[in-house]
Amino acid sequence: MIYIKTREEIELMRESALMVSRTLGLVAQHIKPGVEPIFLDKIAEEYIRDNGGVPAFKGYRGNPPFPATLCISINEAVVHGIPTNKPLKDGDIVSVDCGVKKNGFFGDHAYTFGVGEIKPEHRKLLDVTLEALYKGIEQTRAGNRIGDISYAIQHHAESHGYGVVRELVGHGLGKSLHEEPEVPNYGKRGDGPKLKDGMVIAIEPMINLGKKNITQLNDGWTIITADGLPSAHFEHDVAIIDGKPEILSTFAYVEEALAKK
């Protein structure tokens, strides 16, 4: 069942998405060599709760339930990394994924940071993954299908020789954190559910420097690349309004913080 949102509901979702955006901006101010991921998680939770939101990931279903506000996934960790007290190092790449519930609706998006000076090949991975996200967003138009988004992401990533994770996908978003439809990062043009006005989806390429294969750590959550090479992850919340994509989240707060460093 795909839930179509009213304009009013989409505006409430924009509030939730922008709270995530501002939280990621706060994290961007503090992310540097030597900082502990658990500290980033603490300031994110405080900011969300102080501003009338609830962390969407903390206690999220699973065995065990997810224990933190942020998923912080470092280097070969693709997604769902649990924040620890092990300090970040110069040259790390770090995906920070955040979810918020506010006014009954969810926001959910992610940014991958370079810590200090990162290798050129890792910078290229981040750049191409971000480009792939926007290639997918361009296809998020009424009348297109989910497969058009999936194909655009896959084609761009694979044209650079990268692996596209198959087992983890984007998703619908609304009163639940994960709704239908699933939004894979690989697929065929013209396949899948048709896109319509009022749909809201989270598009989130997860792209590996090496092969597409992944495995899970025994903490029950952290997904890593099978070959141990780095992975990148970016995510936006996108609504279809008047037939066209409108991004409800923004990286402006992140970019503003990074520009000051």
Reported as a pLDDT band with limits 50, 70 and 90, residue 63 is confident
Measured CA to CA in angstroms, residue 67 lies from 9, 59, 62, 81, 218 at distances of 29, 6, 10, 10, 15
Q: What percent helix, strand, coil does the chain show, rounded to 5? A: 30, 25, 45
Q: Does the pLDDT of residue 193 top 90, yes or no?
A: yes
Q: How confident is the model at residue 67, as a pLDDT?
A: 97
Q: What are phi and psi of 32, to 5 degrees?
A: -170, 165
Which structural domain range is residue 65 located in?
7-259
Q: How many structural domains compose the chain?
A: 1
Reported as a pLDDT band with limits 50, 70 and 90, residue 261 is confident
Q: Is the residue at 208 inside a domain?
A: yes
Q: Does the pLDDT of residue 62 top 90, yes or no?
A: no
Q: Is the residue at 2 inside a domain?
A: no
Reported as a pLDDT band with limits 50, 70 and 90, residue 61 is confident
Task: Output the domain CATH number for residue 90.
Answer: 3.90.230.10
In whole angstroms, give the CA distance from residue 256 to residue 211: 33
Q: How confident is the model at residue 143, as a pLDDT?
A: 98
In whole angstroms, give the CA distance from residue 252 to residue 256: 6
Residue 71, both tokens: 């998923």
Asked if 183 and 214 count as a contact pair (C-beta separation under 8 A), the reply is: no
In whole angstroms, give the CA distance from residue 177 to residue 223: 19
Q: What digits encode the pLDDT tens for the residues 103-162?
A: 999 999 999 999 999 999 999 999 999 999 999 999 999 999 999 999 999 999 999 999
Query: Residue with structure tokens 């597409």?
Result: 212
Q: How confident is the model at residue 103, as a pLDDT?
A: 95
Q: What digits encode the pLDDT tens for the residues 26-41?
A: 999 999 999 999 999 9
Q: Is the residue at 147 inside a domain?
A: yes
Q: What digits encode the pLDDT tens for the residues 204-243?
A: 999 999 999 999 999 999 999 999 999 999 999 999 999 9
Query: Residue with structure tokens 């090496």?
Result: 210
The HSE-up count of residue 154 (CA atoms within 13 Å, CB side) is 17
Q: Is the residue at 58 inside a domain?
A: yes
Reported as a pLDDT band with limits 50, 70 and 90, residue 1 is very high
In whole angstroms, give the CA distance from residue 257 to residue 171: 28
In whole angstroms, give the CA distance from residue 182 to residue 186: 11
Looking at 103-143, which runs of residues are DSSP E strands?
105-114
Q: Is the residue at 205 inside a domain?
A: yes
